[in-house]
Structure 1
Amino acid sequence: MTAVEVRALVFDVFGTVVDWRGGVAREVSRLLGPGVDATALADDWRERYAPSMERVRSGDLPWTPLDALHRSSLDDVLASSGLGDVPAEARDELVLAWHRLDPWPDVLPGLGRLRREFVLAPLSNGNVALQVDLARRSGLPWDCVLGAEIVRHYKPDPEVYDSAPQLLAVPPSSVVMVAAHLDDLTAARARGLRTAYVHRPDEFGGRVVPPGSDPEADLSVASFEELAEALGA
């Protein structure tokens, strides 16, 4: 893969661009107090992420934005943690924790370099309002917002990956999917996109250690700055 062939980079967001675990745990502590195991609650909530989207994919639910799925799964998380008395207002505020996540330290410098050469966009399961809030909060320099809500499908449905080259009017082989998750990259490759794996060892706080590289990816890097260097940006 050469920089000349690449026109656009699209990014997984939760875990790849932003630290979901640290940010959610921070808001849990702020809203529910120090007596709650904030990281355990964040992990439990995240574990319900994929099953909630599968209900939409299977047709069990109509199209439902991620904020609404998070709100529904939060009720189950709180009940299983003995926190069923948390008021509705606090639950609604907790859902906004996903709008207030911090980027990894390498993200803004790396994206700044990459944007000089390439179109950049999230390709996330997060709804548009969530992505806009994350971008405005931290200065993520997206050229546009792409992803699940645009096509009303959740990754790894092919419609999500197909939408990026279609909407940007470039061949699939000119788009690089950047992610810290092997399943995301596998699904993107199946639709003709190039792929770049970013190693995020701190995503799960040491509870799970992700692989250090993806042998199937066009590039495997340790940071967005290394990705920019590899692409000549």
Structure 2
Amino acid sequence: MVDTPGIDVIVFDVLGTLVDEPSGLRAAIGEAVPASDDQTVEGLLSLWQQHVEREQRHIAEGRRSYANTQVIDAEAAQHVADRAGVTDSETVARLSTAAHRLPPWHDSVAGLDRLARRFPVLGLSNASRTALLRLNAHAGLRWHQALSAESVRAYKPAPEVYRLALDTAGCPPDRVLMVAAHAWDLRGAQASGMRTAYVHRPVGDPPTDDDTFDLRCGGLDDLFTALTTG
């Protein structure tokens, strides 16, 4: 573990890091297609995730104009509905907002609150502004400020998303700590000069042996201890 003195602002990824995105989507799919068994739900979840990943990659590659997560999630919900034979428009509309109702991890609410008493804390998410507002309210996440990548019409790990956080923080990049459960996200932050902390989550993207993040933590309690002791 690398020493982390001089951290002025903490920036948190949201999806996967503070909320359990797959479980929330899985529950919403199960609600929309109640007769489905676990295997069918997993297949529909994979269909959803593949659509989102593909479309965000197309946007990053310039093969599609920017569309926020509200649009892409609605497309994913329609694909799931078509595959499952769901035709009720209200059911599909509710499914399209599944990302508004993702559950927090067990330590997210209390851990975020503890850290926010000691540091200015920002959220930085690929979720649209509307989705981020609804998700924060549902999960009970409390920020000093939550930033959506929609503001710069890009998706992490595009550098302009991290620049949005740095401009908001108003201090040098090496005094800003990016916290995420995804190594790809931390690599993007690192390339922008930010300090980095990996937090383990079951659905995250773990570091490789070549990654040199400042901190690697088992959860938010470990992160708090690392930042406030020593």
Tell me the TM-score normalized by structure 2.
0.89
* 8 Å CA contact 1:52, 1:73 repeated in 2: no
Deviations 1:190-220 (A, max 9, x none): 000110001112x28xxxx845988411000
Q: Percent identity?
A: 35
Residue 230 of structure 1 pairs with residue 226 of structure 2: yes
Identify the residue that residue 96 of structure 2 maps to in structure 1: 95
Q: Distance in 2 between matches of 1:66 and 1:40?
A: 21
Number of matched pairs: 226
* 8 Å CA contact 2:81, 2:92 repeated in 1: no
Letter matched to residue 88 of structure 2: P
Please point out which of 27, 44, 48 is paired with 1:45: 48
Residue 6 of structure 1: how far off its partner (Å): 1.0
Change (3 A) 1:212 1:191: closer
Letter matched to residue 226 of structure 1: D
Change (3 A) 1:143 1:2: farther
Identify the residue that residue 104 of structure 1 maps to in structure 2: 105
Identify the residue that residue 60 of structure 1 maps to in structure 2: 63
Letter matched to residue 225 of structure 1: D
Q: Distance in 2 between matches of 1:186 and 1:47?
A: 22
Letter matched to residue 154 of structure 1: Y
Residue 43 of structure 1: how far off its partner (Å): 2.8
Q: Distance in 2 between matches of 1:87 and 1:64?
A: 25
* 8 Å CA contact 1:10, 1:120 repeated in 2: yes
Residue 97 of structure 1: how far off its partner (Å): 1.0
Q: Distance in 2 between matches of 1:108 and 1:114?
A: 10
Please point out which of 73, 78, 83 is paired with 1:75: 78
Question: Which deviates more from structure 2 when the two are superposed, residues 48-57 or residues 33-42?
Answer: 33-42
Change (3 A) 1:214 1:24: farther
Residue 38 of structure 1: how far off its partner (Å): 2.3
Residue 122 of structure 1: how far off its partner (Å): 1.6
Moved over 4 A (4+): 1-4, 209-215
Deviations 1:160-190 (A, max 9, x none): 0111111221111111111111111111100
Q: Structure 1: which 5+ residue stretches go unaligned?
A: none
* 8 Å CA contact 1:52, 1:69 repeated in 2: yes
Please point out which of 199, 213, 217 is paired with 2:213: 217
Change (3 A) 1:214 1:31: farther
Tell me the TM-score normalized by structure 1.
0.88
Question: Which deviates more from structure 2 when the two are superposed, residues 84-93 or residues 18-27?
Answer: 84-93
* 8 Å CA contact 1:213, 1:221 repeated in 2: no
Q: Distance in 2 between matches of 1:86 and 1:101?
A: 24
Residue 121 of structure 1: how far off its partner (Å): 1.8
Deviations 1:35-85 (A, max 9, x none): 253233223211222211122223333221111011113333444x3x244
Residue 131 of structure 1: how far off its partner (Å): 1.0
Cα RMSD of the aligned pairs, angstroms, is 2.2
Letter matched to residue 224 of structure 2: A
Question: Which deviates more from structure 2 when the two are superposed, residues 95-104 or residues 164-173?
Answer: 164-173
Identify the residue that residue 125 of structure 2 maps to in structure 1: 124
* 8 Å CA contact 1:178, 1:196 repeated in 2: yes
Q: Distance in 1 between matches of 2:208 and 2:117?
A: 28
